[in-house]
A and B are shown apart, each in its own frame.
Chain A
Amino acid sequence: KAGVTQTPRYLIKTRGQQVTLSCSPISGHRSVSWYQQTPGQGLQFLFEYFSETQRNKGNFPGRFSGRQFSNSRSEMNVSTLELGDSALYLCASSSLGGAEAFFGQGTRLTVV
């Protein structure tokens, strides 16, 4: 069974730009969660999608958004990028949104 796949693996963007990250969950998994990992704050929950609906959202500004498609693939978007958005963004999938999550390798975003 293929694991969680995130694309791209690396991104460099300029302040003020927007970015879209993609996540393909494990086949059959309908829940996709996103996390931000930084050296200072560690791993922080962004949001969770299940059957194309956002069910849960962390404490991040509205510049961070996401969506999920009918095939369970998910994208997250960050608009008006700031230097502080530089981080590793991790996607995790689970079968029913349970706490046992399987993580992708992440997309490393650098904002310059």
Chain B
Amino acid sequence: AQRVTQPEKLLSVFKGAPVELKCNYSYSGSPELFWYVQYSRQRLQLLLRHISRESIKGFTADLNKGETSFHLKKPFAQEEDSAMYYCALGADHSGAGSYQLTFGKGTKLSVIP
């Protein structure tokens, strides 16, 4: 069975400081890893997926298979980054191309002005 762990429930950083949101996973196959973000009063939305290897809103995440981690990083935090961040692992258990997302419990990022 797969599992996603986000060890920090709450992370507070000052504006302009670097941010790292931790995510560790356990899965026996080849995972697809994602970061989702939920801003206040908005729907859950995709921020990053490991396959694309792109930077969105200054955030990057690298899949480290050796450490089974997919930490989210940003060099300089902005106030608008304050939100709930969820790490998720996608896996096809049905064998029919049906992906099931397993989410971590989330980390609330608070950027202090």
Contact = CB atoms under 8 A, between A and B. Distances in A.
A29 B105 CA distance: 27
Interface string A13-42: 000000000000000000101010000001
B94 interface: yes
B70 interface: no
Given A42-B106, A45-B101, A55 B96 contact: yes
A42 B101 contact: no
A102 B49 CA distance: 13
Interface residues of A, number: 28
Contacts of B97: 50, 55, 96-98
B98 A43 contact: no
Contact of B103 (A3, A42, A96, A98): A42
Nearest to B43: A105
B101 A56 contact: no
Identify the interface centre among B86, B90, B99, B103: most chain A CB within 10 Å of its CB: B99
Interface in B54-113: 86, 90-91, 93-94, 96-106
18 contacts: A4-B43, A42-B105, A43-B101, A44-B103, A48-B94, A48-B99, A56-B93, A56-B94, A97-B97, A97-B98, A97-B99, A99-B91, A100-B34, A100-B49, A100-B90, A101-B99, A102-B45, A102-B46
Interface of B: 32, 34, 36, 43-46, 49, 86, 90-91, 93-94, 96-106
